[in-house]
Amino acid sequence: MKSETSALPPPVQLLMCARWDAAHALAVKMTREHLAAFDEQLPDRLLDLTLDRNVMHSMICAFVDRLAQEGTEEAGLLALAWRMLTCDPRKPQSFVEVIPALSWTIRQATFESDADAKEACDLEAIWWHATAGAFVKTDGVSIFRIAAVETTLPPVADDNDDESYDPSAAPLPPTFMKKMMKLQGPSVVVMRAALAAEKGLPAAWKEMRDLPVRLVVARDVADVRELLQQEFPHAHNAVTLLTRDLRDGEPLRMQPLLLIGPPGSGKSRLVRRLAEITYAYVYRFDAASSMDGMFGGTPKGWSSAQPSVPARAILMSQQANPIVMVDEIEKAATSTHNGNLWHAMMPFLERETSAHYRDSGIDAELNLSHVNFLATANDIAPLPGPLRDRFRIIRVPSPNLGHLPTLAAKVMSDLAADDDFRENDQPLAPDELAVIGRAWMREKFSMRKLKRLVEATLETRDSCAPRH
């Protein structure tokens, strides 16, 4: 059982309980603390666990009405927690009023760790299945118990095991198992064994034969967009275009996109942040240092044999749809003596060809059609027409002075995240911002320079600070 989850709203804390009585005890404890402020006692009969469940349910309903009269959000959350105790897996109807509000509360909660958040999501999924009627046939076992066993929370010591629930004894309906399989998320086989002879394949790739590779799924796209727009206020439209292809609950899939903008406008950073927020892997490829067609792989037989960049990205990330970011694509060498980046990239940008790409580096056919290609450039002019046509162009403008307060605040919080000493820094004062603004204007509003300017300002401030 969790002990330090005090920051979570009561319904989420209850969700984490592995048994009905544990959840009940927790609800009683939290409600007592709440009622103490009003000098009020919890009705005795709510504590009586010997009561018939039906009687208990009507007691709880009456008490929920009492909480609702208070008219505060705190009481509302407690009321929701109490109502969770009335949910009966045998009667899916009993979940209908609870589950939408519970689900919304979970989405709004701030969890201490990703593990906690994931646990809550897993448990919530079981509650949803119960609402859909997956556990109608279970024998009076509480939803708390079912959810705990289904998500295999650490086992709880059972002294009087009146709530024994053994998933193997009461097999779940097949549709439910199928749904649970679906919960594992979508995947795709990148390398079909029939099209990749095992002999001579590098060891790492041998394991990939016929192996389903996970696809990253986009979640809460509206939130992702909002967050990026806050972080890149100058690139509001660019973010909208960048996230236009994303669909909630579907694999992350974007058309090839080319971000064009002046140096320092935050193009690469935007791509990296998008990947961070969506949990996608980014393979960065620096076009400026590419002199040949290595992007498409070096043929097997050469000592330097290597598969293509998209294939390497998949192998490294174990995701079938990582992001390959080609930085400064217009700076690639133009000589075609040993092939050239632009020509080497072309086949990957068409889904038709990339779905059956024979990688010369490992001599095997791969399905690379899910890889996302994002490129950045300062200028579009040097790019050959056919390549340009394959990208959707997004312009990222430079920020201006109006964006300074937001961007500087973001830099400050980034610095604080990197360095504990910076955590207690005061926000930038208006006069400091004015100085930074003037210097920044001289630097043509580069985001890289802004970071250095803010750092320098903070260092000056530190050196002038009075010491004791």
Binding site for other proteins (CB under 8 A): 68-73, 75-77, 80, 92-93, 96-97, 99-101, 103-104, 108, 121, 124-125, 128, 131-133, 179, 182-183, 185-186, 215, 217, 219, 222-223, 225-226, 248-251
Least distance CB 280 / other proteins (angstroms): 15
CA distance 449 to 437: 11
Nearer to other proteins, 125 or 416 (CB): 125
Nearer to other proteins, 2 or 107 (CB): 107
Least distance CB 129 / other proteins (angstroms): 8
Contact 297, 361 (CB under 8 A): yes
Compute the Cα dihedral for 426, 430, 434, 437 and give only its sign: positive
Contact 127, 147 (CB under 8 A): yes
CA distance 347 to 342: 10
Please state, as a whole number, how many other Cβ atoms lie within 10 Å of the Cβ of residue 350.
12
Nearer to other proteins, 186 or 347 (CB): 186
Least distance CB 18 / other proteins (angstroms): 20
Nearer to other proteins, 279 or 302 (CB): 279
Least distance CB 133 / other proteins (angstroms): 7
Please state, as a whole number, how many other Cβ atoms lie within 10 Å of the Cβ of residue 397.
15
Euclidean distance between the first and the last CA atom of the chain, given in angstroms as a whole number = 46
- Closest alpha carbon to 275 in 314, 325, 330: 325
Least distance CB 224 / other proteins (angstroms): 11
Contact 271, 322 (CB under 8 A): no
User: What angle, rounded to 10 degrees, do the helices at 447-464 and 404-418 form?
Assistant: 70
Nearer to other proteins, 124 or 363 (CB): 124
Contact 356, 365 (CB under 8 A): yes
Strands of 378-413, DSSP E: 392-395
Give DSSP secondary structure letters for 130-164.
HHTTTTTTS-S--HHHHHHHHTTPPPPP-SS-TT-
Residues 6+ apart with CB under 8 A from 283: 309, 310, 312, 313, 316, 317, 322, 323, 324, 325
Least distance CB 162 / other proteins (angstroms): 28
Which residue is it, tokens 């103490």?
36
CA distance 78 to 301: 68
Nearer to other proteins, 96 or 417 (CB): 96
Nearer to other proteins, 93 or 338 (CB): 93
Nearer to other proteins, 93 or 289 (CB): 93
Least distance CB 273 / other proteins (angstroms): 18
CA distance 65 to 70: 9
Least distance CB 299 / other proteins (angstroms): 37
Nearer to other proteins, 122 or 292 (CB): 122
Contact 106, 121 (CB under 8 A): yes
Least distance CB 9 / other proteins (angstroms): 10
Least distance CB 177 / other proteins (angstroms): 14
Nearer to other proteins, 214 or 358 (CB): 214
